[in-house]
Amino acid sequence: MKITNICCIGAGYVGGPTMAIIADKSPHIKVTVVDLNEPRIAAWNDQDVNNIPIYEPGLSDIVARARGRNLFFSTEVDKAIDEAELIFISVNTPTKTYGTGKGMAADLKHIELCARQIAKVAKNNKIIVEKSTLPVRTAEALKSILDNTGNGVQFQILSNPEFLAEGTAVEDLLSPDRVLIGGESTPQGMEAIDSLVEVYSNWVPRERILTTNVWSSELSKLVANAFLAQRVSSINAISELCEKTEANVNEVAKAIGMDSRIGPKFLKASVGFGGSCFQKDILNLVYISKAFGLNEVADYWEQVIIMNDHQKKRFSKNIVQTLYNTVSGKKITFLGWAFKKDTNDTRESAAIYVADDLINEQAKVALYDPKVTHNQVLFDLNYLDTRSSSENEKHIVSFDSPYEACKNAHAIAILTEWDEFKDYDWKKIYDSMLKPAFVFDGRNLLNPERMKEIGFIYQAIGS
Ligand code: NAD
Ligand code: UDX
């Protein structure tokens, strides 16, 4: 089937950018992105394209080009489902916060609601594409709901996980390492796969479009994230050993990364990985493994999370110890709150956990992040539920200027690797701080020699 009308349910970090690229590269396809969240859709439709709800370099230009031509954002979910031949489900699949599997399993309630809605509305055959990251064998559950609650029409279910990373979503979507499409090997399944392959072929070379069975595709997404996160936890584990042995983790990472079998990417030691995916997807993998009785497999992957939690904790602990075992009433300035540079996303950011620890120690946290609002910061802290929201408000203040944020601080902690932090006038910052002036560089972003020359007591990760 030649696809001319696509609907995507979920206008988030994946649905928004992915559909913008599909629309931009396929002017003959009408793409409608729908969401229940009215303010989010209104923001996608904002006259001023700089106000779209997701910050990704290059995205606003693409949206400006395609929006109103063949790219539409809407809250009319039923209408978009009805008109589409192919429907992407790109809703959130967070870790369950209740019941069986609490804290581990993926919460599939949004997925199931989508399936029921599609089944109710669809009056002709449709291809349903799992774009969300899902536990292996979810397609089975989706098919059961669609076939048992629908109007007798045929549904083909494909798995097409998304591998984009935030901050580089546009480049990742424009030239993906691979596009993965899983489907059934029946004639109808193959036909559905071909339809989606054709959509991507508008800009992705055929040899980069990989087709597999549905279960391999679903599982590959969890495995890719687990392997990536494992590399970060591996180098972070070594960073602690470096601190004890006078080895330098940057030098170790470079030395091992030059081995072509290991490769240089994803070996940057840090205060710990964050983001909405790594932790959630590994916990999901652990949960599935346990469900099959594979306890050794589960324990192996769980260690990646344990190591990451340890890395965040030891960062905050070191700040307290270094500041003479007390940060009570001290101003500690955070540079960065986002979980990585070039995004306004803060989900699972290490900054949240480090701030929580320091607030427990009665620190006064001052914050500057180029893209994160103070409301978001308070939301993130309140979400942890460690203390009342009024207590949180008393302990954290956001600034519009990094220089104001750093003035009279006892210490600065770098939590996100925003490029602009490198170019600050660090001498001016030093002069405005209380002495001794400490910098805890959780991203190994700054030049240690230069910082020490200025007079800072400078500590990085793994050296
Ligand atoms: P998100 O929270 O930014 O967006 C999801 C959107 O779906 C929300 O706006 C929500 O309102 C909407 N939604 C939920 N239920 C709905 C319903 N029944 N009808 C209409 N809209 C509904 O999430 P995200 O970051 O875009 O992630 C989506 C999926 O993609 C997740 O499964 C995630 O694991 C996966 N993923 C995310 C990334 C990433 O970098 N964020 C990368 C790869 C894969
Ligand atoms: C990740 C996967 O990379 C992507 O393929 C998937 O689709 C979604 O999950 P994302 O979470 O957006 O993407 O960003 P990523 O670049 O993977 O970084 C995740 C976290 O690991 C960030 O907090 C980052 O700062 C940290 N990280 C990454 C390190 O600490 N060191 C590294 O070497 C790499």
Residues 158-173: pLDDT tens digits? 999 999 999 999 999 9
Residues 271-327: pLDDT tens digits? 999 999 999 999 999 999 999 999 999 999 999 999 999 999 999 999 999 999 999
Number of C-beta neighbours around residue 113 at 10 A:
15
Mean pLDDT over residues 144-162, rounded?
95
Q: Which atom of ligand 1 is nearest to the CA of 163?
A: 43
pLDDT over 90 at 92, yes or no: yes
Atom 11 of ligand 2, residue of closest alpha carbon: 275
Q: Please report the pLDDT score of residue 77 as a whole number.
A: 98
Mean pLDDT over residues 317-339, rounded?
98
Q: Determine whether the annotation assigns residue 269 to a binding site.
A: yes
Contact present, 342 and 172 (Cβ < 8 Å) = no
Residues near ligand 1 (Cβ within 6 A):
9-15, 34-37, 40, 77, 90-93, 110, 113-114, 132-133, 162, 164, 166, 276-277
Q: Please report the pLDDT score of residue 11 as a whole number.
A: 98
Q: Which residues contact 324 (CB under 8 A, 6 or more apart)?
A: none
Q: Please report the pLDDT score of residue 195 as a whole number.
A: 98
pLDDT over 90 at 369, yes or no: yes
Share of the chain above pLDDT 70, in %: 100
Residue 234 beta carbon below 6 angstroms from any ligand 2 atom: no
Residue 347 beta carbon below 6 angstroms from any ligand 2 atom: no
C-alpha 187 to ligand 1 mean position (Å): 31
Three-class SS of the chain: CCCCEEEEECCCCCHHHHHHHHHHHCCCCEEEEECCCHHHHHHHCCCCHHHCCCCCCCHHHHHHHHECCCEEEECCHHHHHHHCCEEEECCCCCECCCCCCCCCCECCHHHHHHHHHHHHHCCCCEEEEECCCCCCCHHHHHHHHHHHHCCCCCEEEEECCCCCCCCCHHHHHHCCCCEEEECCCCHHHHHHHHHHHHHHCCCCCHHHEEEECHHHHHHHHHHHHHHHHHHHHHHHHHHHHHHHHCCCHHHHHHHHHCCCCCCCCCCCCCCCCCCCCHHHHHHHHHHHHHHCCCHHHHHHHHHHHHHHHHHHHHHHHHHHHHCCCCCCCCEEEEECCCCCCCCCCCCCCHHHHHHHHHHHCCCEEEEECCCCCHHHHHHHHHHHCCCCHHHHHHHEEECCCHHHHHCCCCEEEECCCCHHHHHCCHHHHHHHCCCCCEEEECCCCCCHHHHHHHCCEEEECCC
What are the structural domains of the chain? 5-212 (3.40.50.720), 219-463 (3.40.50.720)
Residue 165 beta carbon below 6 angstroms from any ligand 2 atom: yes
Residues 4-55: pLDDT tens digits? 999 999 999 999 999 999 999 999 999 999 999 999 999 999 999 999 999 9
Q: How far apart are CA 73 and CA 45, in angstroms?
A: 7
Q: Determine whether the annotation assigns residue 266 to a binding site.
A: no
Q: Please report the pLDDT score of residue 311 as a whole number.
A: 98
pLDDT over 90 at 144, yes or no: yes
Q: Which atom of ligand 1 is nearest to the CA of 13?
A: 26
Q: How far apart are CA 392 and CA 219, in angstroms?
A: 39
Q: Which residues contact 207 (CB under 8 A, 6 or more apart)?
A: none
Q: Please report the pLDDT score of residue 1 as a whole number.
A: 85
Q: Determine whether the annotation assigns residue 133 to a binding site.
A: yes
Atom 6 of ligand 2, residue of closest alpha carbon: 163
Residues 384-400: pLDDT tens digits? 999 999 999 999 999 99
Q: Please report the pLDDT score of residue 435 as a whole number.
A: 98
Residues 188-228: pLDDT tens digits? 999 999 999 999 999 999 999 999 999 999 999 999 999 99
Q: Please report the pLDDT score of residue 2 as a whole number.
A: 94
pLDDT over 90 at 335, yes or no: yes
Residues noted as catalytic: 277
C-alpha 275 to ligand 1 mean position (Å): 13
pLDDT over 90 at 93, yes or no: yes
Atom 3 of ligand 1, residue of closest alpha carbon: 12
Q: Determine whether the annotation assigns residue 169 to a binding site.
A: no
Q: Please report the pLDDT score of residue 177 as a whole number.
A: 98
